[in-house]
Structure 1
Amino acid sequence: MANGSNKLTARITYLEMTEHSTVSVPTPVGIRLAIMRASDMPVHYYRYLYEQVGKPHHWMMRRKQSDAEVSATIHAETTEIHVLYADGSPAGFAELNLVRMPEEAEILYFGLVPDFQGRGLGRFFLAETIAAAWSRGPQKVTIHTNSLDSPRALQLYQKMGFTPVSWSEEDVETWD
């Protein structure tokens, strides 16, 4: 919904999983895949992934942060970044926020580069991201999505075992 010339109103859905998911997702065939946990990721590469995945959905938080702020966050011990590679190219990334451990592991960012959407990679990568979050030993795993994300995101999260627990609205600046 438009709200002024460069603002959109997003409805945010907060979800949580309080038990390990029993959903099994096979590895997609016909494409070479690798998921690597990034350590000491250069800020420019993080910004590239963030833009590629987040621009269509108007992701905002990291756009507003300085390089020093982004660096401090992505290099913190309470942050994990996992990058999905498909046939050698970056296909998506997930960012875990572990600052509220052991109570909660949050999947703060999750998504695919548009070129790799529609190939069955999202469900596989999400299952692997959920497993990575649970491997840290939290009491629950959380994620949120909003009405500007992929229209399939909320449905996918619920199919994977997340349950909506609350909602809010937020004004978001468009990413032009």
Structure 2
Amino acid sequence: MLKTRVTHLELTDRPTQSVPTPVSFKLAIMRATRISLPFYRFLYEQVGKPHHWSVHRHLDDKALAAIIHRDNVDIHVLYADGSPAGFFELVTGEEEGVTEILYFGLIPEFQGRGLARFFLNEAISTAWMSDPQKVIIETNTLDSPRALQMYQRMGFHPVSFAEAEIEAWV
């Protein structure tokens, strides 16, 4: 087990800044309606394995489908030059007036190439489309060391912290 510090953040005002689209790639962001389980597992592993994401890792197909195919779950995939480069997963209505960016990240080969801030801006903009009172996200010390700073630069404010133990992804 790995010990980590979890930071819970929220954004209570719709952002007014925009992030320009990077020109170094041909980009597309597509909503994955009823995403196939193998493709979801691929994205979850590619993005999450370096950070030891574990919540959906051991679920069987029926349990995973019951979570990700709910009407209040919205998954969007970033493609760069035709290849999957990352994804974000939004959950609305679990708490009144709240949209959660449950998962957000890039596949390692696409990190450090100017895509994260742009893609996060798109995730935030999409989250606000459900007209919430606030958008929430969390990160921990096993995520990218730049994640917390990027979230704060994009307007999120830390609201609480917790200690957690996470199963290592080996």
- Structure 2: 5+ residue stretches without partners: none
- Give the total of aligned pairs: 170
Give 1:30 deviation, angstroms.
Answer: 2.2
Q: Name the TM-score, length of structure 2 as normaliser.
A: 0.98
Question: 1:23 pairs with 17, 22, 25, which one?
Answer: 17
Matching of residue 161 in structure 1 with residue 155 in structure 2? yes
**Structure 1 unmatched ranges of 5 or more:** 1-6
Residue 47 of structure 1 corresponds to: 41
What's the secondary structure of 1:62's corresponding residue? Answer: coil
Q: TM-score under structure 1 normalisation?
A: 0.94
Counterpart in the other structure of 1:4: none
- CA RMSD across the alignment: 0.9
Q: Decide which of 3, 11, 26 is 1:9's aligned counterpart.
A: 3
Opposite residue 52 of structure 1, the aligned amino acid is Q
Moved over 2 A (4+): 99-102
Change (3 A) 1:99 1:66: farther
Confirm whether residue 91 of structure 1 aligns to residue 85 of structure 2: yes
> Quick one: percent identity of the two aligned structures?
59
Q: Deviations over 1:141-161 (max 9, x none)?
A: 000000000000000000000
CA distance in 2, matches of 1:166, 1:101: 17
Q: What is residue 130 of structure 2 aligned with on the other side?
A: 136
C-alpha contact (below 8 Å) 1:83/1:93 kept by paired residues: yes
Matched, 1:111 2:105: yes
